[in-house]
Structure formats: C-alpha cells, structure tokens
Amino acid sequence: MPKTTYREALRAAHREALQRDPRVFVMGEDVGRYGGSYAVTKGLLEEFGEARIRDTPLSELGFVGAGIGAAMGGMRPIVEVMTVNFSLLALDAVVNTAAALRHMSGGQFGAPVVIRMATGAGRQLAAQHSHSLEVWYAHVPGLKVLAPATLADARGMLWPALLDPDPVILFEHAQLYNVEGELADPPPAVDLTHAAVRRAGSVLTIVTYGGCLPRALAAAETLAAEGLSAEVIDLRVLRPLDMATVLASVRKTHRALVVDEGWRTCSLAAEVMARIAEEAFYDLDAPLARVCSEEVPIPYAKHMEEAALPMPPKIVAAARALRRPA
C-alpha cells in the first residue's frame, strides 16, 4: 500500500469531494494562496480556481455564517477554521443557527455544512491556539461531531460528512498532520456512526479519541509488556456517541480508563464515564478512571506543555492502578 501522511489524506479527501460535486467549495482563512494554516489545502487553488477555493477575511463569525448561508442555499461548503480556540467567535452562528435549523423549521430544511478545525496541543503554540474544546460542540443537539485519528478516517470521513443534511464539525488534532503510514488505494469506506476497536485486549478498556489515540496505543504497548492486556477504543464520533461499542468492551474487560485531552471538569471523559456507570455499573470490577489535561491554560514551554497533557506515562500509571489483584 502507498504511504501518505494525515495531512495528505485530508487533502486527497478535499480533492475527491471537489471533483465529485460541483456544489462543494472550500472557504476559510488562508486556504487558497497560502495553502491552509496546516497546508491541508495546498495546491487546490491552482487546481480548482478562486471560485471554489476562497480566502476569507479574518472574521470567523463572518465567514462561518456565510458558509452556513451557502449551505442553506444549496451549496456544500467546507469551512476551515484555523483553530478551535478561534471558532468560539463563531459559536452563535453554529449553535444558535446551524444546529437549530432542522428543529426550528419543523424538519423542512437544514444546513449541510462541514466545518473543519485544528484542535489540541503539543506544538508549543500556547494557550490561544492549543486547547481541546471538542466537548463544547459535542454538547449541542443538531450537530454531528467527528474526530478522525487515523489516516483512513482522515481520508474517508469528509465525503460522507458532506452528504449529511445537517452541520458536521470535523476536528483534526494538530499533532496528527505529520503522522505517516500506509493507506489503501482506493481507501476503505468509513461509517460515521460507530467507534472503532484499535487494539484488542482482555483486562482493561482504554477509551479515547483524536490526538490521544497514538498516546493510548503507546501506553497499551507498554502495558502489554507488563502482562496487562488493554483494549483501545477510538470513539471517532463524539456526537452521537457510540456507547454500544464502549459498553461491549467494558463488559469484557471489567475495567475502564478514559483518556481525554480536554480539561477534567465537565469533560467528554466525564460523559463517557457517566454513561458507563449508568449502563454497565455491575460489570465493573474497579472504579472508573480518567486521564485528562491539567486544569490550566496550555503552557508555551515544551516541558510544561507536556506536563499538562495526558501523555503515555500518565496513562500507564492510571492503568496500573486498575490492575486486577493477584
């Protein structure tokens, strides 16, 4: 199989969408001449022209709102927001308009827009560019929220997201863009409804998503050398959550650890843990546990940034604490 990067997989997904449907266009800050803040759209302006690869002013509320309007008018826009932190400037358009249109119109119309944004820390971009706010969007009815963590998902999630009649938020962790690996050609189909078992295990379930998946898999490798077999679940779809896959794993392993780069308070990890407690409490042989980011703005200094994040040693330590007694 040919090798590619997460960034290149996303770019190929954009190219495919633009070729398949003339209603698809890309808009956002620096997506055209600069090629995107993370080079995802590099070269697409030359290939598809200014009408379909549109640079916008530095006004998230303005261009996200314009994208929602274009979707309501019959287009299929892909709106790129530079970082999740900046997307907060467009929350009104996303939450009060796009997410509510289906309900407020009595099911007559929606806003089939895909809004992409980088999320997460690990690149020394400091507090205004590094937070993981996926749970803010996963909280909102009317949105579908995706977090591709693999090359296959990066390549395969965009087209089905564009087919959704309602708004889809697609989170790309900034540390994944340079990840390289093999990707089948043609790429496998990706469904947008189920979590994925990324590593089979028998004595512990680790539930995670996005940029924390590689860290969870690295931790599982360390744990395996110690005789602790960890099953790693990639949520992939943050709204609606596929709890059936998570619960099936927990009922097999009887222990669960949730890894989430969001802050601990009111986190997505808290929601997953609550659902496990509600639906599989009597299957547990140990208290639920989680590893989240420290409750601080993400620091700039590399050693402090790493200390604030759920890195593999923290995941391993939390998993060891759940080990079955001899």
Q: What is the pLDDT along the chain (326 residues), one digit of tens a residue?
A: 778 999 999 999 999 999 999 999 999 999 999 999 999 999 999 999 999 999 999 999 999 999 999 999 999 999 999 999 999 999 999 999 999 999 999 999 999 999 999 999 988 888 889 999 999 999 999 999 999 999 999 999 999 999 999 999 999 999 999 999 999 888 889 989 999 999 999 999 999 999 999 999 999 999 999 999 999 999 999 999 999 999 999 999 999 999 999 999 999 999 999 999 999 999 999 999 999 999 999 999 999 999 999 999 999 999 999 985 43
**Active-site annotation holds for 305:** no
202 token code pair: 């028998």
* Residue 309 Ramachandran class (φ > 0 left, ψ -120 to 50 alpha, else beta): beta
**Residue of 8, 14, 129, 261 marked catalytic:** 129
Q: Tens of pLDDT along 61-94?
A: 999 999 999 999 999 999 999 999 999 999 999 9
Domains of the chain plus CATH, in order, are: 3-182 (3.40.50.970), 196-321 (3.40.50.920)
pLDDT for residue 125: 87
pLDDT for residue 326: 39
- What burial class does residue 286 get, using C-beta atoms within 10 Å of its C-beta: 0-12 exposed, 13-18 middle, 19+ buried? middle
pLDDT for residue 324: 57
pLDDT for residue 323: 81
Work out the end-to-end distance of the chain between its first and last CA atoms, rounded to an integer number of angstroms. Answer: 44
Q: How much is the mean pLDDT over the chain?
A: 96
How far apart are the C-alpha atoms of 117 and 174, rounded to whole Å?
Answer: 9
pTM equals 0.95
**Residue of 8, 60, 80, 271 marked catalytic:** 60
- Helix residue ranges per DSSP H, the chain: 6-20, 44-48, 60-72, 84-87, 91, 101-104, 134-138, 151-156, 158-163, 212-225, 243-253, 268-280, 302-308, 312-321
% the chain with pLDDT above 90:
93
- 170 and 192 Cβ atoms separated by less than 8 Å: no
**Active-site annotation holds for 14:** no
